[in-house]
Structure 1
Amino acid sequence: MSKSTAATTGAKPRPGFAGNLLRSRETGIIGALLIMVIALSIFAPDFASVDNLLNDARNLAFIGIVVLGQAAVMITGGIDLSVGSVWGLAAVASAAMMHAGMGVVPACALTLLIAASVGLFNGFCVTKLRMLPFVPTLATMSIARALALIITRGKAIDGFRPDGDAFFALGGGDFLGLPVPFLIFVALSIIAAIVLKRSVFGRQLYAVGGNERAAMLTGLNVDRLKMSVYVMSSVLAGLAGIIEVSYLSSAISNQGLGKELSVIAAAVIGGTALSGGEGTVIGVFIGTVILEVLRNGLVLLGTDAYWQGVFVGSVIVLAVFIDQLRKGVWRRR
């Protein structure tokens, strides 16, 4: 269609590649990440060292794996506050079972089953009992943490050698020069991206988060979809706990403590809307990287650890503010 034809018919010309790029949520956070990396490379030379970058990649993988599940929950309009405690429960449960002599595979499978049961309970409360997601996930956050304390009795679980040292390569090993946890995170991110963008299931999740009432009227099983993402969130939190036990070779009851805030922060920074219906895996991936780069940069710059939460909170507010600007929220008011 020519410009004159478009003007005659009143049709708006389609934005070009540059226009779409500027409107993309990911463009802003990629730009922010690049600025952070360049600034830290200048003011904290150790940041750009290979050892530091590989250490960052390993550390961000634990959070990133959990963020993938949290993002799915948030896309449907929910939130899961229990992921940090499920992370800790999975860590101590898997370590306790292996310490008692159980093999790696059955111990990990049973641990993931325990995590899935927490997610199933959360999903049941949200869908069948019609509770706000905040309520059951806050409850299971407390319950799972208490169970972790009961299992450990306040002591660390270590000294286990399940099936030789193969288990410890899961969290502490490297493959092709990259940390195994990071490769697991990348693989799960690719799978999640395909599911969300290329599958019917993924499109249904966006439909539920965009307009739950409309989704129900079109015949979607909204309850089943919601329950599935809460189970997914808990299982991925459990997986992160298992991998961290492999890396640390021990488990304590406070593992994952407060991580739910970091997980939600990474998802929000990555552009996943708290109101539901929006979010991408690439955004979540970059949001996780930004959070770890910020944390590591503050440490290298000698910032007081007590101030780190202030900076992270400020970045969250800034990310949401920029997203609101992109949507033109104030122009509509």
Structure 2
Amino acid sequence: MTDTTQQPVATQDFARIDEVTALRERSLVQKILASQPFWVTIVLALICLVMNWIEPTFLTADNLFNITRNFAFIGIMALGMTAVILTGGIDLSVGSIMGVVGVVCGLLLQAEYHWLVAVVAGLATGVVIGAVNGALIAYLGLPPFVVTLGMLSVGRSLAVVLSENKMIYEFGPYAEQFYWIGGGAIFGIANPVWMLIVLTVVFAIAFALSSWGRYLYAIGGNEHAARLTGVPVDRIKMQAYIVSGLTAAISSVMIVGWQGSAINALGTGYELRVIASTVIGGANLMGGEGGAYGAFIGAALIEVIRNALLMAGVDSNWQGTFVGAFIVLAVLLERIRGRKSD
């Protein structure tokens, strides 16, 4: 009697294990299908295929080189913006930071300082501005929107004053080395793209595996609960804005090197493209959701749309409409995914 009663139990146990295993497999698939960056990648691939069918020159090496180089500048900034948005904040000053950093680099090169000095000074400028934003937001409790909007105006004004409202293009004896930073290429891939790839990997690891990344998600998910659990909220929030300022500075240094000149209007309107990249890539403006790959693929999609419209002969003034529509669709998709998870 004992053996006959144990056999069905064992059979039931194995059945339950199979059910659990299948459930986990389905959950993994569902997790991938629910990932916004996954669907953005699919849309990006479809647009590229359709455009290559319409215009065979779309996927040529030269055009891909231009597309990747152009979205790299936005993608680098979007990585830093993702750190800020994860905390539930926003940084509207990144475009103006680009302007100030570009002018600082240009002035030092014009004064015949070594290109390394110009680069370090430019990066330090971005860090300082980001630290000011972070201190006002984290330690004084001012709203991120107000602080960074104010810094947008202050930064642009500083860029105009420092440059005396003139273009800076005489970069002195170290011009060629500086030009290579943003205008050079390795193995046929532009240097800014290599920088974006490296930073994407670094940020992906930091977000997923470091305590800093977990703190960012915790603050964006519930700041009050994060404080109660011992998360150094103020310090982490300040660091997020410093990182945002640094990535804006990196992008500025590289784009000035590519263009071969520095103007105080550099980065005007870029803050909207950067925020759009993060949102399209799955970042939640309320905080607590987003990732490095999402910033990467969101920036890529925006540039591919822009390039596709130009090659299709669409008036460039319509670009904002298409990008805005994708932003709304991205937010709508995030809302739908949120309801399903609930």
> Which TM-score tier does this pair reach, normalised by the shorter chain?
over 0.9
Q: Percent identity?
A: 39
Matches within 5 A, 1:171-210: 171-210=182-221
Detail structure 1 runs of 4+ shifted over 6 Å in the superposition: none
Q: Deviations over 1:209-263 (max 9, x none)?
A: 1111110001111000000010110111011111111101111111100000000
SS state at 1:123 partner: helix
Q: Name the CA distance, whole Å, in 2 between partners of 1:11 and 1:182.
A: 40
1:279 alignment partner in structure 2: 290
1:131 is aligned, of 113, 133, 142, to 142
SS state at 1:321 partner: helix
* Code of the aligned partner of 1:108: V
2:97 alignment partner in structure 1: 86
Contact 2:94 2:244 in 1 (8 A): yes
Contact 2:109 2:175 in 1 (8 A): no
User: Which stretch has the larger CA shift, 209-218 or 299-308?
Assistant: 299-308
Deviation at 1:28, TM superposition (A): 1.3
Q: Name the CA distance, whole Å, in 2 between partners of 1:224 and 1:52.
A: 43
Q: Deviations over 1:192-222 (max 9, x none)?
A: 1111111111111111111111100011110
1:14 alignment partner in structure 2: 24
1:298 alignment partner in structure 2: 309
2:155 alignment partner in structure 1: 144
Q: Name the CA distance, whole Å, in 2 between partners of 1:298 and 1:232.
A: 33
Matches within 5 A, 1:1-333: 2-4=14-16, 13-16=23-26, 17-163=28-174, 165-328=176-339
SS state at 2:96 partner: helix
Q: Summarize the Cα distance change of 1:26–1:100 in structure 2 as closer, same or farther, 3 Å threshold.
A: same
Q: Name the CA distance, whole Å, in 2 between partners of 1:109 and 1:133.
A: 27
TM-score, with normalisation over the residues of structure 2? Answer: 0.92
Q: Name the CA distance, whole Å, in 1 between partners of 2:58 and 2:18.
A: 52
SS state at 1:251 partner: coil
* Code of the aligned partner of 2:211: V
* Code of the aligned partner of 1:294: I
* Code of the aligned partner of 2:69: R
Q: Deviations over 1:67-88 (max 9, x none)?
A: 0000100001100000000011
Contact 1:156 1:253 in 2 (8 A): yes
Deviation at 1:6, TM superposition (A): 8.9
Contact 1:112 1:235 in 2 (8 A): yes
Q: Name the CA distance, whole Å, in 2 between partners of 1:283 and 1:88.
A: 26
Contact 1:104 1:162 in 2 (8 A): no
* Code of the aligned partner of 2:228: L
Contact 2:82 2:295 in 1 (8 A): yes
Deviation at 1:4, TM superposition (A): 4.8
Q: Name the CA distance, whole Å, in 1 between partners of 2:115 and 2:17.
A: 67
Deviation at 1:23, TM superposition (A): 2.3
Contact 1:30 1:286 in 2 (8 A): yes
Q: Summarize the Cα distance change of 1:324–1:164 in structure 2 as closer, same or farther, 3 Å threshold.
A: closer
Q: Deviations over 1:17-73 (max 9, x none)?
A: 433322222221111111111111112222111100011111111111110000100
Deviation at 1:124, TM superposition (A): 1.1
The unaligned stretches of length 5 or more in structure 1 are: none
Deviation at 1:303, TM superposition (A): 1.2
SS state at 2:331 partner: helix
Q: Deviations over 1:274-301 (max 9, x none)?
A: 0100111111111111011011111111
Q: Name the CA distance, whole Å, in 2 between partners of 1:290 and 1:199.
A: 28
Deviation at 1:267, TM superposition (A): 0.4
Q: Deviations over 1:97-116 (max 9, x none)?
A: 11012111122212221211
* Code of the aligned partner of 2:270: K
Q: CA RMSD in A?
A: 1.9
* Code of the aligned partner of 2:122: T
Contact 1:81 1:134 in 2 (8 A): yes
* Code of the aligned partner of 1:213: H
Q: Name the CA distance, whole Å, in 2 between partners of 1:11 and 1:185.
A: 38
Q: What count of residue pairs does the alignment treat as equivalent?
A: 329
Q: Summarize the Cα distance change of 1:85–1:192 in structure 2 as closer, same or farther, 3 Å threshold.
A: same
* Code of the aligned partner of 2:108: M
User: Which stretch has the larger CA shift, 101-110 or 57-66?
Assistant: 101-110
Q: Summarize the Cα distance change of 1:162–1:220 in structure 2 as closer, same or farther, 3 Å threshold.
A: farther
